[in-house]
Structure 1
Amino acid sequence: MYAAAGLDNLHEPQGVIAEAQAAASEVFGAAQTHFLVNGTTAGILASVSACCGPEATLVMSRASHMSVFNAAAAAGALLLLPCRA
């Protein structure tokens, strides 16, 4: 993908990807927007890994996406789940 003329590098966007991320930031009202690959699971894994380390505590819904539980386990975080009513 990166070898073709006119395309950009997702890891260091300077062309069309940078422009698209800037446009998305404007639409979302965000300071920055970063595109990800491999879908939501990859984004969740990256987010939890960036925010939580060993012994971090996460309060999560039992209805959370399975990848959140996997990411928390990989990060070594403690999960707090609400009791069933």
Structure 2
Amino acid sequence: MREFDIVFIHPPAIYDFRKKAILPGPIARTVPIYTHMFIMLPIGMISMASYLEERGLKVRVFNLAEKMLIEKTLDVEAFLG
């Protein structure tokens, strides 16, 4: 990730969701496609990235929860370090 000027990281709502069972709370009813990781990116994050790219910066929006779902054995600390 070091080839970018700015990296926005969208973390899961619950960091260790892969390790424990999680029961959804009332917020689950307000999200159209609910997962306990909230993997949908906030529109503001995408807007900020677009704004900065238009001004010449190299920007990456990174969905950490999605990567954790795809790569089941991902060591997050090592990946981000």
TM-score (norm 1): 0.23
Q: Relative CO higher for 1 or 2, CA cutoff 8 Å, sep ≥ 6?
A: 2
- Greater Rg over alpha carbons, structure: 1
Instruction: Give the structure with the higher percent strand.
Output: 2
